[in-house]
């Protein structure tokens, strides 16, 4: 470990002894001491005491400007007053019934007004939403295979856990990547039915359709790959996928778990002007409550009406999540708030860019709606394999350096990005940039000293 990183981690440990203690205790009963693998990292994660607006306080009393925001699930920020009011009302009037209560149609109307779908069903997580999209697409086409992109993330069901973060030795040809299980326990039959292509490479998609004629039910993707930092679709890529799907009778599924709320009012389909056949939504639509939705045309969703595809769930449309979702769509994800966060996003992006330039750091800055990232690469990444080539310890220096200066610049892991909430202010952005101004020269220095030999395989 290089000098500056060692010093930053030592400082982190000095500032967070109660988190270390809490983690040690949790490890005894909980694998890795955390409830989701993404939350665990060395030496130990920060344990949170409370969150308000754009800020978090940890169990040691340190305060942070929060751009992690629960891996981007909190564009509302912590405890948005409209969400809190709605949730309190739900808590006082019955949280969950296993019976309809009227809010379902209200929220379905909100969703159908923004996204190009005619009917929706609800759930609690992004994993559920993409899982049901995949199954319905298989039913709608009477085909078994899915096509997905190396490096995209769609949650934790078996079909989603293929080629999420494959190691370089398992890659295969870049125009025909191998289907690589994302850990043990993913059944072989699933691997046989999930074929993989390369993001921004339409030829690799066409090749798969030629290889499996009449067998691919759907193409699923994040319209912006946001589990490798931020990887934008190149001009024509999404339009090309639309065309290939239509030509081959396959459905196009946009996994908008990240982009749906945060890219803009109408999500990626509006932003890019490309209409998918199905959409999966979660994270920021719930204002901090577990809420997900998936939708499609009336014709496709009719498979549920006809009892041909089964969908259920005890906690679906529980009134706490629905109240939070309605408040979020009506009072948080408003045109006015999108204008506010756009202004802050631009300020943060421009500020980062100026500092990068001044420091001589080999990096670029990219933004998509309220999300953005400092990308420690000399040139814009186009796919997962480009993303792999990063100096991970340099990124860790950035992350711990920012944390030690009171800014959670993004979630831990170099495949993530910052989120700005509607409760962030200009002053928050200025503090964020002041911290980066302090960290950047050390990054540039370490980058120069370490050179290219530390640029390596970044999977986790
Ligand atoms: C694009 C995308 N799809 C699906 C998921 C899974 O969502 P969840 O963690 O709510 O199951 C995520 C989570 O990060 C995601 O980023």
- pTM (two decimals): 0.97
Ligand 1 binding pocket includes 383 (Cβ within 6 Å): no
Best mutation site among 34, 37, 123, 126 for ligand 1, i.e. most ligand atoms within 8 A of its Cβ? 126
Ligand 1 binding pocket includes 148 (Cβ within 6 Å): no
Mean pLDDT of the 19-43 span: 98
Query: pLDDT digit string (tens) for 325-345?
Result: 999 999 999 999 999 999 999
Mean pLDDT of the 268-284 span: 98
Of the candidates 201, 255, 391, 415, the residue annotated as catalytic is 255
The reply to whether 277 belongs to the active site is no
Ligand 1 binding pocket includes 289 (Cβ within 6 Å): no
Ligand 1 binding pocket includes 126 (Cβ within 6 Å): yes
Residue 1 pLDDT: 87
Residue 457 banded pLDDT, cuts 50, 70, 90: low
Return the residue matching tokens 């809490």: 22
Query: pLDDT digit string (tens) for 231-245?
Result: 999 999 999 999 999
Residue 451 pLDDT: 85
Mean pLDDT of the 436-457 span: 89
Q: Is the pLDDT of residue 459 over 70?
A: no
Q: Is the pLDDT of residue 460 over 60?
A: no
Bridging pattern class, strands 194-197 and 145-149: parallel
Mean pLDDT of the 111-116 span: 98
Closest C-alpha residue for ligand 1 atom 7:
126
Residue 455 banded pLDDT, cuts 50, 70, 90: confident
How far is 141 from 249, CA to CA, in rounded Å?
8
Mean pLDDT of the 117-136 span: 98
Query: pLDDT digit string (tens) for 199-209?
Result: 999 999 999 99
The reply to whether 201 belongs to the active site is no
Residue 194 Cα to ligand 1 midpoint, Å, equals 18
Report the atom number in ligand 1 closest to the C-alpha of 72: 14
Query: pLDDT digit string (tens) for 74-86?
Result: 999 999 999 999 9
Best mutation site among 153, 369, 384, 411 for ligand 1, i.e. most ligand atoms within 8 A of its Cβ? 153
Of the candidates 283, 391, 415, 428, the residue annotated as catalytic is 283
Q: Is the pLDDT of residue 29 over 60?
A: yes
Residue 154 Cα to ligand 1 midpoint, Å, equals 5
The reply to whether 352 belongs to the active site is no
Residue 415 pLDDT: 96
How far is 46 from 62, CA to CA, in rounded Å?
10
Report the atom number in ligand 1 closest to the C-alpha of 152: 1
Mean pLDDT of the 367-376 span: 98
Residue 257 Cα to ligand 1 midpoint, Å, equals 6
Ligand 1 binding pocket includes 150 (Cβ within 6 Å): no
Residue 452 pLDDT: 75
Ligand 1 binding pocket includes 257 (Cβ within 6 Å): yes
Mean pLDDT of the 260-283 span: 98
Mean pLDDT of the 155-184 span: 97
Bridging pattern class, strands 418-419 and 371-375: antiparallel
């Amino acid at each position: 470990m290089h000098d500056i990183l060692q010093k930053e981690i030592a400082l982190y440990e000095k500032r967070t002894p109660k988190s270390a203690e809490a983690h040690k205790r949790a490890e005894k009963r909980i694998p890795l001491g955390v409830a989701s693998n993404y939350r665990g990292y060395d030496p130990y994660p920060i344990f949170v005491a409370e969150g308000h607006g754009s800020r978090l306080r940890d169990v040691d009393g340190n305060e942070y400007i929060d751009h992690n925001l629960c891996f981007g699930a909190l564009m509302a920020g912590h405890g948005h007053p409209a969400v809190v009011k709605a949730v309190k009302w739900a808590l006082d009037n019955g949280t969950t019934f296993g019976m309809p209560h009227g809010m379902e149609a209200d929220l379905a109307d909100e969703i159908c007004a923004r996204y190009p779908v005619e009917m929706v069903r609800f759930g609690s997580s992004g994993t559920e939403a993409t899982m049901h999209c995949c199954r319905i697409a298989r039913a709608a086409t009477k085909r078994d295979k899915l096509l997905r992109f190396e490096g995209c993330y769609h949650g934790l069901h078996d079909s989603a856990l293929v080629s999420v973060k494959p190691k370089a030795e398992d890659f295969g040809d870049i125009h025909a990547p191998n289907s690589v299980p994302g850990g043990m326990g993913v059944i072989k039959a699933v691997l046989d039915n999930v074929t993989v292509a390369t993001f921004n490479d339409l030829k690799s998609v066409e090749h798969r359709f030629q290889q499996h004629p009449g067998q691919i039910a759907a193409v699923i993707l994040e319209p912006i790959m946001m589990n490798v930092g931020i990887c934008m679709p190149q001009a024509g890529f999404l339009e090309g996928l639309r065309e290939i799907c239509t030509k081959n009778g396959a459905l196009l599924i946009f996994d908008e778990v990240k982009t749906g709320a945060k890219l803009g009012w109408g999500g990626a389909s509006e932003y890019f002007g490309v209409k998918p056949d199905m959409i999966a939504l979660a994270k920021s639509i719930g204002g901090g409550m577990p809420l997900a939705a998936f939708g499609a045309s009336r014709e496709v969703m009719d498979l549920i009406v006809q009892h041909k595809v089964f969908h259920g769930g005890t906690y679906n449309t529980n009134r706490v999540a629905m109240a939070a979702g309605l408040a979020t769509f009506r009072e948080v994800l408003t045109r006015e708030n999108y204008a506010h966060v756009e202004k802050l996003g631009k300020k943060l992006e421009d500020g980062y860019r100026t500092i990068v330039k001044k420091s001589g750091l080999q990096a670029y800055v990219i933004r998509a709606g309220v999300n953005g990232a400092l990308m420690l690469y000399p040139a814009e990444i186009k796919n997962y394999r480009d993303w792999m080539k990063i100096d991970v310890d340099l990124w860790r220096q950035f992350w711990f350096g920012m944390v030690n200066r009171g800014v959670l610049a993004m979630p831990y892991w170099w495949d993530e990005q910052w989120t700005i909430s509607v409760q962030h202010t200009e002053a928050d952005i200025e503090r964020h940039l002041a911290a980066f101004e302090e960290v950047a020269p050390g990054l540039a220095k370490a980058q120069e000293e370490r050179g290219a030999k530390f640029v390596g395989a970044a999977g986790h």
